Structure 1
Amino acid sequence: MKSPVFETSLQSIHSISIPSDIAESFISQNHKRVVVQVKYQNKSVQFHAALQKRKELFSVMFSKKYQKQLGVFSNDYFQVQLLEDTSKYGVEMPEELEAVLQSDPEASEIFESFTAGKKRSLIYYVLGFKNSQTRIDKSLIITENIRLGIKDTRQLIKKL
């Protein structure tokens, strides 16, 4: 499933407007999470996001990082297309975390029992590191803490 390409602008400093008819076509098919493709002046970015509704207006979060990559400012209009998010977690799983979880079935089973939001939080945390070795190290800390029975996300990422 994908939307037609549409033109929009920043709705606030961290979000972009999504036309109601497009957002509702995804939500009616149970697709609250989407992949967003944004194009502006021969540059493009793609990211995962959740469709949000506030006061009858739909939007998705659009980070300053992506705005800077594209060179988008508050009064600019740009092209957007929404795609069905077919990823397992609503975000792409980093190879390092996936490998560590595969090597530890007990931690993997507990990880899978977490809420979708908690899983995404941990995935985003690992994705925040550019160095592959750091991602592995952080993944090992998370799995060790999972096996210790720690449930609090803030505690899961800390080395004991």
Structure 2
Amino acid sequence: MPEHVFAGPVLRTDGGLGMHYVPIPTEVDGALDGARIVTGTLAGSESDGVPFRRAVHGRGDGAPKLLFGKKVLAEAGLAFGATAFVELEPAADPDAVHLPAELEEALRQDDAARERFETFTPGRQRSLGVYIDQAKRPATRVRRALDLCEKIRTRTLYGDRD
């Protein structure tokens, strides 16, 4: 059973990419005791809830929030301005990295890329997994995974310094 349940509006950040988010009430954020990663469900008034695993964003500016893409919002029956019903709790394994199957397979076939990938921080590994996961078409996901492995192996990945 989730530890924290609340309702909040689906809002949009100003400027930049205009991300959709649900603000976390101050009392709920305080009860999370600084947890960086949370799990739970997101639901609209007529949905059963879509499971999620997210980082808590915005604590630095005093406004903790959960960011959601349009795909997840649509699955939950939500849109900008709607009331979201959120159940959440701190993740039991905050440093766990869940990779898309396409990236796991590409890394399995490329020993040099896999060895270097394993030296990346959990946050960077997750970020690269999200890049693969965001592609809608399976062929694009496979192409991105293979391209990513080549860039990891050849040290041409954006942000490589050595």
In 2 relative to 1, CA 130–153 (structure 1 residues): closer, same or farther, beyond 3 Å? farther
Residue 17 of structure 2: aligned partner? none
Secondary structure of 2:64's counterpart equals: strand
Other-structure match for 1:151? 157
Structure 1 spans left out of the alignment, 5+ residues: 155-160
Q: Structure 2 counterpart of 1:115, which letter?
A: T
Gaps of at least 5 residues in structure 2 are 14-19
Query: How well do the aligned residues superpose, as a CA RMSD in angstroms?
Result: 2.7
Residue 47 of structure 1: aligned partner: 52
Q: Deviations over 1:98-132 (max 9, x none)?
A: 12212323211211222333322211111122333
Q: Which amino acid aligns with 1:60?
A: L
Which residue identity lines up with residue 143 of structure 1 in the other structure? C
Pairs aligned (count)? 150
Which one has the bigger strand percentage? 1
Shift of 1:144: 1.5
Q: Is the 8 A contact 2:37 2:53 kept in 1?
A: yes
Question: Residue deviations 1:31-64, cap 9 Å, x none?
Answer: 3012241111232222332112254332111223
Question: Which residues in structure 2 correspond to 1:6-155 (within 5 Å)?
Answer: 6-12=6-12, 14-28=20-34, 31-43=35-47, 44-52=49-57, 53-85=59-91, 86=93, 88-89=96-97, 92-152=98-158
TM-score using structure 2 length? 0.75
Q: Please, which moves more after superposition, 94-103 or 52-61?
A: 52-61
Find the residue that maps to 1:140 and give its secondary structure. helix
Q: 1:75, 1:151 → 2: CA distance? A: 38
Distance in 2 between residues matched to 1:40 and 1:104, nearest whole Å: 42
Query: 3-state DSSP class of the match of 2:157?
Result: coil
Quote the sequence identity (%): 27
Of residues 123-132 and 65-74 in structure 1, the stretch that sits farther from structure 2 once superposed is: 65-74
